[in-house]
Amino acid sequence: MTSRIITRTIWILSFTSLFTDMASEMLYPVMPSYLVSIGFNIAIIGLLEGLAEATAGLSKGYFGAWSDRKGIRVPFVRMGYTMSSAAKPLLALSSQTIWVFLMRTMDRLGKGVRTGARDAMLAQESTAESRAKVFGFHRSMDTAGAVLGPLLALLFLHFYPERYITLFLIAILPGVVTVVSTFLLKDDLTPAKVQSGTGVSFSYFVNHWKEGSHDYRRLMTGLIFFALLNSSDMFLLLRAKWAGHSDEAVILLYVVYNLVYALLAYPAGWLADRFGIKLMWITGLLIFTVVYTGFVFAGNIYEYALLFALYGAFAACSEGISKAWISLLVSPGQTATAIGSFAGLQSIAALLASATAGIAWTLLGSSSPFLITAAGTFVLLIYFVRLRDPHIVKGYSSGKGNPSD
């Protein structure tokens, strides 16, 4: 680790994520319209997204623990990005339900394979004082791809409306760049950080949280309860589409979300390192509550644009921040397992959240998932207010080793 905050490895990982998200986000904002066009209803879309995210999360826990046990990162990063890059264009080969489920699952499985190892590399390349900034920088670069992707999709669909299949095939190009960039990475683990043994059971990550400190377990509990409330972002896109806005308008809304996210992720990380990770996370939850309440009442495109912009601010204050928070409460040799364990448990919660949201939308109306989520998140804020910020946990000084209870 050099004195520079953003090292060569962080740059490579960040550019790799940029091109991956460029490919993913060319497709994500039009995915609801595509799925509806091939016969999927709202409940099935909720189930699809829930299963896809569950696959990603469960595999994050397993492969994160495997990476820690074997003491290697790069092979997991490379394989994960390769799987996702291949799955996106393959999804367009058939509109059969089983094929769509398989390819969407393969895409998310690739995310699961790579995420724990990649985030462990980011943590390894940072210090305690720069942890949130590094994760924020990576999220900014990642989300820059999520701005470019929808813009490219918007440009393409302007000239070729509803040519979804061709758009899926175009996603091959950034995918190739992604895979090639992973060959620039090198493992840099020292023997002291590598655990003995290479085997890991699939259920190992489920129990990992029990082995952590009191602060780690309390944080995990709150994060999982929030995941039970937070359904797939696809429902936000569906809500905008349901309100009568065009595909192009929905894509632009998604661009607004990602642009704000990309611009604020690094500053949010800097503020978290300066004033406290917990404060930044709670700020994100407050914004989230406002956004989901607003989706109940929004109608015109300007109201939706404001809500998607605020949603980008929430993401900047939460996604990278939560990973940085977790990494500060565990030892370096357990980082991939800890973040993967969180993702695994989160994915089960996300499956339930998305499936429930789809059913609620169908049976109770399109406003019901947003009202339930907003109310639940507001109550959960009280729980997070009572947690200790990781920077002031007794016994914590450098981010190395478990903080004391």
Residuewise pLDDT in 10s, the chain (405 residues): 344 778 888 899 999 989 988 888 787 777 777 777 777 777 777 777 767 777 776 777 778 778 877 778 889 999 999 998 888 888 778 777 788 888 888 888 898 888 888 888 888 887 777 877 888 888 888 878 878 888 888 888 888 877 777 888 888 888 889 999 999 888 765 443 444 444 555 555 556 666 667 788 888 889 989 988 888 787 888 888 887 777 778 888 888 888 898 888 888 888 888 888 888 999 999 999 999 999 988 878 899 999 999 999 999 888 878 888 888 887 766 777 777 778 777 778 877 888 888 888 888 877 888 999 999 999 999 899 888 777 554 344 333 333 333
User: DSSP code of 404?
Assistant: P
> What φ, ψ does residue 78 adopt, rounded to 5°?
-65, -45
> How far apart, in whole angstroms, are the C-alpha atoms of residue 245 and residue 183?
42
Going through 202-261 in order, the beta strands assigned E by DSSP cover none
Q: Are 222 and 281 a contacting pair, CB within 8 Å?
A: no
Q: How far is CA 144 from CA 18, 21, 220, 388, in A?
A: 6, 8, 28, 32
Q: Catalogue all structural domains in the chain, each as residue range(s) with its CATH number.
A: 8-184+206-392 (1.20.1250.20)
Q: Are 159 and 35 a contacting pair, CB within 8 Å?
A: no
Start-to-end CA distance of the chain, whole Å, equals: 28
Going through 205-295 in order, the beta strands assigned E by DSSP cover none
Helix axes 319-327, 277-297, angle to 10 degrees: 150
> What φ, ψ does residue 300 adopt, rounded to 5°?
-80, 170
Quote the tokens at residue 168.
Answer: 């899926």
pTM: 0.70
Q: Are 108 and 52 a contacting pair, CB within 8 Å?
A: yes
- Burial (CB count within 10 angstroms: exposed 0-12, middle 13-18, buried 19+), residue 365: exposed
**Helices in 365-392 by DSSP H: which ranges?**
368-385
Q: Are 231 and 354 a contacting pair, CB within 8 Å?
A: yes
Q: Are 58 and 109 a contacting pair, CB within 8 Å?
A: no
Task: Give residue 108's Cα distance to chain centre.
Answer: 11
H or E segment and range at residue 144? helix 131-159
User: DSSP code of 389?
Assistant: P
User: DSSP code of 334?
Assistant: G
